Structure 1
Amino acid sequence: MKILKRLLKIVFALIGVLVIITIIILRVDSHRISYLSINKNELTFNDSYLITNVNVIPMNQDTILVDKMVYINKGIIEKIADTIQALGVEILDAKNKYLTPGLIDMHVHVWDRYELGLYLSNGVTAVRNLWGMPMHLRIKEDVNDDEIISPIFMTTGPKLTGREFIGDDNLNLTNPNEAKIKVISYKNRGYNFIKTYYGLDKDIFEAVVEQAAISKIDIVAHPSQKVPFLYHLKPQIKSIEHAEEIVQQSLQFDLDTIKLQPIIDSISLSKHTSYCPTITAFNNIYQMMINDSILDSESLEYMNPLIKKFDSKKQFERWFNTKQNDPEAIDRIKEQHDFHITIVKKLHEAGVNIICGTDAGIGVTLPGFSIHQELVFYKEAGLSNYEVLKTATINASKTHTIMNQLGTIEVGKIANLLIVDNNPLIELSTLKNPSFVIVKGRKLNRSTLNSFEEKAKSRKNLIASALRYLENLIFEK
């Protein structure tokens, strides 16, 4: 008995030590990202001012409002006119630059708060996180309470899958009642959306959709192979993710435009459903196959250290081994990528609401930076620059009711804006390097944005990230 008591004391002592170490690691990591904390008394974050001499690209119409003034009052666009009298406020002279809505990335996976700065530095002023964990609820709360400078942050709950085990990151539901309970729980806990995922059985899928309608919470669908693809066009499902799922599920890898057209037509008839192609993420498979040193590239230093060490490496090894065993796989992947561009072209021609998403944060898809490649792919699909920019602004804002105050430059909208040197309707690449990023009215100049990139590039938070992921496994599984 004495030995048992001693063992218990040792165990409890070790647990106590681990708890203390965990708290220290997480607090140190929190301190390192204090540069994102908002000091509401600092002029840098003043949210009321007048922008002058700016060319406005409103995005609710294909036009440019030349040489305007824009008055931002407490984070809201209050007036747009040739001349505005606003006494006692700061003047921001845009010197004939261009004012656009901030970009919206509709498919990201956030692993730490450093990434929030990376999104901002690339002009992304709102993100839809599609891999919900407890840490994302804390981020959302801090963003909503104006505790940190960040893109507007929305998140799904954990990914819902069916009875089949797919991975430790998925929530394997076993029956319809359990599915309904999870939907109710996620809504009550503050998750913005439900994410259905690969492997979701039809009976459970129907329960999720039914309860989501009752709970008034939108669904984002990564198509499940256990129900017909067109089953995902139900009214409660507001967007379908990944162009490759059309290829892999509906077409069974048959890259046939004739067979594709009926699928496109069905999607276009579903006026409530947007499509998020995530072309960049799939193309990055091809990039891994043709670049054996991609993991050592400087750009990969912007990835979360935990993801880079495990997920990026795992994905690279998978595709490296694939091409070693089958050299023709490289051409097949490239051909499928090219077909994804065709899918975007067909979706656009059919009038489907295409929304820009990158799948950033996993593999080698960089947070923030990847959105510019995604936009280039839409341009390659035949969209005009205005139509390309719509996918990351007004189209995204129409997907969910809670996003309706974003995506355009209009009186009464949230002041999520970019000031860029050149006209993006002619030169999309100008979006890569905005002079100012304005999020909820708060101005961030290029120097500040560059510092966000440097902080993310030099971070050492592998253990802290692992602890947060462990929290998810313990409390969500």
Structure 2
Amino acid sequence: MLLFGAHASSAQPVAFVNVNVIPMDRERVDVPWAAQTVVVSGDRIVAIGATTDTAVPDEATIIDGTGRYLLPGLVDGHVHLLGFGPGPRENFADGPVYLANGITTVVNMGGPSSPRRATELEWKRRVEAGALAGPTIYTAGAFVNEPRVKTPEDVERDIRSQARDGYDFIKFHELDDTTTGLSLASYRKMIDTARDIGIPIVGHAPNNLGVDVMLEARQPLAHLGNLSNIYFLPLAAHRGYLLVTATAFFLLIAAAALSGAPPHSRWIALATFVAFVCLSLFLPGGPLFESVALRMIVTVLTLLVAIGSVASVIFAVKIWREPRSPAPARMRASLASIASVALAVVLTTFWTPVAWRSSARGIDALATRIHDAGISVQSTLVVYEAIGGVNRLYRLPAFNMKVARALHRAGVPLVAGTDARGIPQLAPGTPLHRELQLLHESGLSPHEVLRAATVAPAILLRKDHEFGTVSVGKRADLLLVERNPLQDLSTLKTPLGVMVRGRWLTRERLQQMRAAVLK
């Protein structure tokens, strides 16, 4: 493994002369600062100014920036250094791959509790010391969730322990169907403890608790796609509705199939079936997720089922009041009326409201609530593209881009991240460039895309005083590219050179380092 000491020249100052600077230190800049000189000493930017007015130390290494563009190094705001399943190459051999892609900082989201977690802290410290080549690492420790921690006391102990061990932030991880999720008391203790000791927290959506709890807690979200699980189709917190729906539907089918069934049973069953076919077509991931007409059909069918359920109850009452009615007829009528009423209730109180949550107006309403709560959201759009690209009917990637567009319009801070090594399809480095392109296609301007991969992650980690902009006093993490990225984001894929913590690496050197670890 190549060490920085073998290829870095950080002992003397470095000056980028006559370069176009994209500082990222303000909300909107459509034109780079032309003809600037940026001086770096050690690992810090020490001077920025017009080339005609800025002194360059005599001993400085001069990098000609004429016609070139200098911007902050990129941040992948969501990676898993150790991955899942087979481990990565030893000694953070992915580090040069990140650097070759212009990524000077990674935000490691940790993983399940394991003795290997200490490896991430070791890599972090060795990278900072210059013993390993790679981006600066900010890392979480073991995922916080039950069954590893259950009670509020467990949660508080764990968070304080991770902070003492040197982890930079806490990762709350929703464990899906393997557990029930943290209790409300434990979840709130997690949020309160992290705030009390001043350590950032980011996590999956607490699906078992619901979106209102997450918004009240102001918990930054690790995946934009988690909004489907907690809000657009919140089945984890409402499994009772699934059970009632399935049971009532099959009971109604059974009643309708019997001779002498109540006259309304068959068309109530048909209306319910059609409603759920429509739901499957437009709920998140469905091929017609933008269809207002299908949502209207579901609403009308729900009304018809409700009317039919009233008719079924009236029919059952008549059957029971008729002294000569046989017991089987009474049973069929009762079964059909109970099933019809149950379907009317779940369609009215759950399925139809959920159907409209993922409409354009529903998405905008949620985006406004997230903005008002002050929550940032990690985009990770490339994840859903990677896992859903083979199925043309599966349109969750497109739905998530629509959500990203709404969040951006509402002013929600988006943090670019890839989940690299979090799933097998996403290797380190290159997926970030696809993520940036997806954000651009979602409606963000190039400057806003760059902000999501520079300033926004720094703010999330409360390290915006350290990195994220080209400013005096900031860490010298810089990217030199041939073309203006405010006009062409693809230029970020092939940097002319990368400076990481004040160490300058040319394109040729980056490619040599990358090739060495990919043999």
TM-score, structure 1 normalization: 0.74
Aligned to 1:93: 64
| Pairs within 5 Å for 1:132-281 | 132=111, 133-163=117-147, 172-198=148-174, 199-234=181-216, 237=219, 239-252=220-233, 253=284, 255-271=358-374, 273-281=375-383
After TM superposition, give the deviation of residue 339 of structure 1 in Å: 0.8
Per-residue CA deviations over 1:301-351 (Å, capped at 9, x if unaligned) read xxxxxxxxxxxxxxxxxxxxxxxxxxxxx2442x21101001110011001
List alignment gaps of at least 5 residues for structure 2.
83-87, 112-116, 175-180, 234-283, 285-354
CA contact (8 A) 2:8 2:503 kept: no
Q: Does 1:51 align with 2:2?
A: no
How far apart are the structure 1 equivalents of 2:182 and 2:96?
Answer: 34
Aligned to 2:405: 345
**Cα 1:205–1:225, aligned 2, differ >3 Å: closer, same or farther?**
same
CA contact (8 A) 1:76 1:441 kept: yes
Q: Does 1:114 align with 2:93?
A: yes
Per-residue CA deviations over 1:117-141 (Å, capped at 9, x if unaligned) read 1111100111110015111110111
**Cα 1:59–1:402, aligned 2, differ >3 Å: closer, same or farther?**
closer
**Cα 1:136–1:275, aligned 2, differ >3 Å: closer, same or farther?**
same
How far apart are the structure 2 equivalents of 1:261 and 1:47?
Answer: 52
How far apart are the structure 2 equivalents of 1:222 and 1:336?
Answer: 18
How far apart are the structure 1 equivalents of 2:5 and 2:216?
Answer: 44
Aligned to 1:469: none
How far apart are the structure 1 equivalents of 2:488 and 2:409?
Answer: 23
Give the letter for the 1:90 counterpart: T
CA contact (8 A) 1:103 1:393 kept: yes
CA contact (8 A) 2:12 2:61 kept: no
CA contact (8 A) 2:8 2:504 kept: no
How far apart are the structure 1 equivalents of 2:382 and 2:464?
Answer: 24
Q: 2:45 aligns with which of 57, 66, 77?
A: 77
CA contact (8 A) 1:75 1:440 kept: yes
Q: 2:25 aligns with which of 25, 49, 60?
A: 60
**Cα 1:94–1:359, aligned 2, differ >3 Å: closer, same or farther?**
same
Aligned to 1:354: 414
How far apart are the structure 2 equivalents of 1:397 and 1:174?
Answer: 31
CA contact (8 A) 2:107 2:139 kept: yes
SS at match of 1:128: strand
How far apart are the structure 1 equivalents of 2:465 and 2:209?
Answer: 31
SS at match of 1:402: coil
After TM superposition, give the deviation of residue 69 of structure 1 in Å: 1.0
How far apart are the structure 1 equivalents of 2:200 and 2:152?
Answer: 18
Give the letter for the 1:57 counterpart: I
Output the aligned Cα RMSD.
1.8
Most deviating of 43-52 and 363-372: 43-52
SS at match of 1:185: helix
After TM superposition, give the deviation of residue 47 of structure 1 in Å: 5.7
Most deviating of 261-270 and 122-131: 261-270
CA contact (8 A) 1:47 1:442 kept: no
After TM superposition, give the deviation of residue 56 of structure 1 in Å: 0.6
Per-residue CA deviations over 1:398-457 (Å, capped at 9, x if unaligned) read 222234321111111111000000000011000001011001110011112112322332
**Cα 1:243–1:103, aligned 2, differ >3 Å: closer, same or farther?**
same
Point out the structure with max Rg over C-alpha: 2
Q: Does 1:411 align with 2:379?
A: no
Most deviating of 337-346 and 192-201: 192-201
Most deviating of 386-395 and 79-88: 79-88
CA contact (8 A) 1:47 1:443 kept: no
Aligned to 1:295: none
Aligned to 1:169: none
Aligned to 2:266: none
Q: Does 1:129 align with 2:108?
A: yes
List alignment gaps of at least 5 residues for structure 1.
1-32, 164-171, 291-329, 459-477
SS at match of 2:473: coil
After TM superposition, give the deviation of residue 203 of structure 1 in Å: 2.4
After TM superposition, give the deviation of residue 146 of structure 1 in Å: 3.0
SS at match of 1:78: strand
SS at match of 1:241: coil
SS at match of 1:68: strand
How far apart are the structure 2 equivalents of 1:183 and 1:56?
Answer: 40
Most deviating of 346-355 and 203-212: 203-212
Deviation >4 Å, runs of 4+: none
